[in-house]
Copies of this chain bind each other. A is one copy, B any other.
Amino acid sequence: MLTYNLNNRGETPLYDYIYQCIRQDIISGKLAPGEKLPSKRTLSRHLNVGIITVSNAYSQLLTEGFIFSIERKGYFVRNVQSLQKQPEAADETEPYPEETPEKEYFADFKANRTGITHFPVSTWNHFMREALSQQDGNLLKTIPFNGLFELRRAISNYLRENRGMVVSPGQIIIGAGTEYLYGRLMQMFGRACTFAIENPGYKKFGAISASFGNPWKYVPIDENGLVIEALEDSEADVVHVSPANHFPTGIVMPITRRIELFEWVNRAKKRYIIEDDYDSEFRYSGKFIPPMFAEDSNDKVIYINTFSKSMVPSLRISYMILPKQLMNKFEETMSFYSCTVSSFEQYALAKFISEGYFERHINRMKNYYKEQRKLIFSEIENSPLRQISEIQERNAGTHFLLKIKTTLNENQVREAGLASDMLLSLYSDYGFENQEEGSCTLVINYAAISREKIPAVIDRLSNIFIK
């Protein structure tokens, strides 16, 4: 007869404890395959517990298949001798230490940590709360595959009023980050499609292509951006560009080159341009640069932008705009995928944009970055770096190039940076470019460098190159 010490069960419910004991005996073979279990009544008397308790234990064993029942005959043990492993006893203590946190540098030129101190937390909070409390009915509804109408409409209005772009909300697709949206685009284009990216440029696009099994090619740039002859030679079908602010050079693609690029795209039906407008918001003189999307008359430009850069990096909301015909294709082939952004955040962002807070936030950030930039320039001017370096910049974005005369090679520069607790960003990190003899070009991305640190950062930079 099954005998278990019920005093050992601790806080486990009685039925659960009996179930576990029998289960263990079946697994260990103490109860042999085919063996008959005592009847519920017998076992309940034997263990001095209620018949319901035994019944519940048997019922769980039945559900999991450790025993089977034959009508009017009783319960029998199944053959589970080949069961590999008894589930590990869950340890009551928490066995997992904190993970090693991300290394914090004195200065990190690769991070894109837009100052959250400038993010209007309380306004955002307000809209999140509003979304949660007022939208009860709507939060229940399935989010359309391309995102909430309210957010797409807010983006459409914003682009019309601030960018001169005429876009229907039906052409907009919301997604959790640009990388996610690129993935869907690649699936829509299919694996026969070859992509081109600028060299130097957004290297990650190449990694994403590769992970989707799509071939991709580097295409060189000159002082006006992408070299169209090289693009033609690459035999790529779809090209990724940032005409308003090439990364990392800051080149604005002039209208003449844009015309050539349009000519390229119009030469073959399957060709498209992906326009990544990632930080077009931050331009410090004049007005915004018109996107190619707005200049396109043949439905050949896919526009993509993100709120992670303009709001806070930890907000994962991006969008892309497809020409109408491509949108039909996307809907046919990709709309079975659910939208990846929670509706709370979509509602909050829709309100944040439509009530004008987004525009104000952008203006505030623009002023902040502008001051930041000025301060760095003036610190460089007042440092020994002045003698050996040249600033290459185009009044936009949150980075510029600093070309420094030096006999150090790139690895030496990198290591000297680390020795000063700085993660430097080199021009060659963004493409295949070889170092020019006698000089080294740094990408000074100052988004994550706080104002107070700037003098010390420039000082440390100087010390790397001037002994």
Contacts and interface: CB of A to CB of B under 8 A. Distances in A.
A297 B84 CA distance: 6
A201 to B, nearest CB: 16
B139 A117 contact: no
A202 interface: no
B116 A140 contact: yes
A29 interface: no
B149 A337 contact: no
A53 interface: no
A7 to B, nearest CB: 21
Interface in A347-363: none
Interface in A270-305: 285-287, 289-290, 294-298
A452 interface: no
A460 interface: no
Residue from the set A113, A141, A317 with the largest chain B CB neighbour count within 10 Å: A141
B78 A160 contact: no
A63 B286 CA distance: 9
Interface residues of A, number: 111
A88 B298 contact: no
Interface stretch (A163-171, A321-329, A385-393, A431-439): A163-171
Nearest to A183: B183
A16 interface: yes
Nearest to A79: B256
Interface string A113-146: 1011100010011001100110010011111100
Contact of A180 (B102, B187, B340): B340
A344 interface: yes
A215 interface: no
Nearest to A161: B90
Contact of A255 (B80, B96, B99, B149): B80
Interface string A198-237: 0000001001100111000000000010000000000000
A71 interface: no
Nearest to A286: B60
A56 interface: yes
A139 B168 contact: no
Contacts of A164: 87-88, 90
A333 interface: yes
A219 B348 CA distance: 44
Interface string A309-336: 0001111110000000000000001101
B140 A340 contact: no
B132 A66 contact: no
B161 A136 contact: no
A140 B113 CA distance: 6
A338 interface: yes
A320 B349 CA distance: 28
Contacts of A142: 102, 111, 113, 313
Contacts of A149: 98-99
B170 A64 contact: no
Contact of A94 (B157, B285, B333): B157
A59 B286 contact: yes
A428 interface: no
26 contacts: A59-B285, A59-B286, A63-B252, A63-B286, A66-B255, A78-B254, A83-B295, A84-B296, A85-B297, A87-B165, A95-B168, A96-B169, A99-B169, A121-B133, A124-B132, A139-B314, A140-B312, A143-B314, A176-B340, A187-B211, A208-B337, A315-B344, A316-B339, A316-B341, A316-B342, A344-B345
